[in-house]
Every structure is written in C-alpha cells, then in structure tokens.
Amino acid sequence: MNRSLFVFTAAFAALTAAQTASAHIGYSGRDFGTLVIGAPTTTISNQFVSSSFGWADGTDADYGDSHRGRFFRFTLTETTTVSITASRNDGVQTGAAGIFLPGISLYSGLGHLAPNKAAHDSAQLSIDSRPAGTEGSFRALTDWSIGNDPTYNIANDPASGVLNAADLRSFTFVGYAVDGTAANFGGTEGIVGDGIANGFVTGTFANLAAGSYSIFVGGANYSAQDSEVATFPTYGISVSVQAVPEPSTYAAAMGGIVALAALVRRRRRS
C-alpha cells in the first residue's frame, strides 16, 4: 500500500470510529435551537447515519437499535406547526451512493444532557425497560424510553460514590414521515410513505405545543439489515426544519391584503 493511500485509509477509519463512538443519544452539532414562526429554514447537512435500515428496523415488533440513526433537537416557545425535511447527502461515506432513503420520527422530550452520561441501548436501565429479546430501545412509531449509566465522583470508579444517578428518559411519539413505499420500508401495517423512493422526504407536524422535541432520522430500507448488520456503512444526511404559519394565519393575512387592496381601489376611483 502506498503511503498516501495508507494515510487516507487510516484517517477515514478514525472518522468512522469517531462516528460510531459518539452514536449514543446526543445532540452535539444537531441542535436547531428555538424555532421562530416565519423565520427561514435552518439546515444541518454535515451528519451521518450508520446503516440504511435504522428507521425501518424500529417499526417492527422487536424494536430497533438507537445507534442506527441520528438525533436532532429543537425548542418551541408557543404552539407551532413545524416542517421537517430529511434527504440523503452523498459524499464522504462508506455506503454506496444513491441508495439511502430517509425516515423521520418526531418525539416530545429530550435524551440526557450534560453532565449526565448519554443514553444507550445496552445500559442496564434500557434493558430492564423493554421486552426480552428486542434489538434495542428505539421505536419509530410509538412512545419509548431509554436509560443511561451513572457517573461517579471519580470517573469510572463506582467505589467513589454516585455523582449523577442513571435514569430513564421518555420520548413521546408525535408523528413520522418516510421516503418511498412498503417495498423499501417493510410490511408493518399502517405505514404510509411519500410514494417516491428518491432519497427525500418532508413531514409537516401541526400545532405542536411549546416544549423541547427530538427528531430521529434513519434509513428506511428494511431489507438492508441482511447485508449491513456486520459493517454498518455510513450515509450522509441533510436535515432542515422551519416553523411555518398556520393555514388560518395565511388565510387571514391574505384576506387582509385583499381587503386592503379593494379599499385602495375604491378610494382611487372616488
């Protein structure tokens, strides 16, 4: 192997390892902040997911692995309708280009934040909170919960005493949007896709109450579990959010504009 290839391969392996190591539930670099109605769309485009099946796997009876997608967050200060778009972002990745199909799940609630340790599927509280034999804690279409590990007064030393106790965090399901059809996201009854498997999906979630929300974005290719479970290739994603005015607000605004225009015309004629 020539040196330049070795350096590239080593750097890419380090990048992949870092992505895997940071895959516990967290929001670093994925916080959209507080959304303001009518403000421009905000996009985060430099993220990866490890596998093309993570969202779809969370739709079946044995749950899914929360490591197989990415979590994003936003905050609302008033009742708001929010549009969320996820799309594949081909570029530096280990999976094949042009195959990733996104699924979005939206939840009320957040995972653990610093100084608490991040939640993960293999934490004892996570295991105890779900049925035996499940693949993980993640559920794409309903509520779910996940735990973390305690932190100690001296790092990694249980004998030093507990500084922050482990606990469960709950995600309350709001809704979903998924790219394609049952041909890619699987046969779980009741799922409705956008009908076009093109690597792009948008969901609009109306009248969300003030509070904090988590977005899970993962792959919607259910059958890829058979080919990717040993390697978990990465895929680039872009995620955008916008707080949009309610349809009634649009109607009222347009009505006001029409009425004003009519008044101006009458005055000009008089």
What average pLDDT does the structure give for the chain?
A: 87
At residue 62, the pLDDT reads: 97
Q: What separation in angstroms does the CA of 155 have from each of 83, 152, 160, 161, 164? A: 41, 5, 9, 10, 11
What's the pTM?
A: 0.83
pLDDT digits (tens, 9 = 90+) for 210-267: 999 999 999 999 999 999 999 999 999 999 999 998 765 444 443 443 343 444 344 4
SS3 185: helix
Q: Would you list the domain boundaries of the chain?
A: 25-269
Task: Identify the CATH assignment for 25-269 out of 2.60.120.380, 3.20.20.100, 3.40.190.10, 1.10.10.60.
Answer: 2.60.120.380
Facing residues of 168 across strands?
A: 147
pLDDT digits (tens, 9 = 90+) for 74-102: 999 999 999 999 999 998 899 999 999 99
User: Which single residue is written with the structure tokens 């990866």?
Assistant: 48
pLDDT digits (tens, 9 = 90+) for 17-32: 333 334 589 999 999 9
User: Which single residue is written with the structure tokens 């699924």?
Assistant: 103
- Answer whether 54's CB lies under 8 Å from 222's CB: no
Query: Given a cut of 50, is residue 11 above it in pLDDT?
Result: no
At residue 245, the pLDDT reads: 86
pLDDT digits (tens, 9 = 90+) for 194-225: 999 999 999 999 999 999 999 999 999 999 99
Residue 211 phi/psi, 5-degree rounding, is 150, -170
Alpha-carbon gap, residue 34 to 164, rounded angstroms: 27
Percent of the residues in the chain that have a pLDDT greater than 90, as a whole number: 79
User: Which single residue is written with the structure tokens 């498997």?
Assistant: 197
SS3 51: coil
Facing residues of 50 across strands?
A: 234
Alpha-carbon gap, residue 141 to 152, rounded angstroms: 35
Q: Which two tokens stand for residue 142?
A: 């309903």
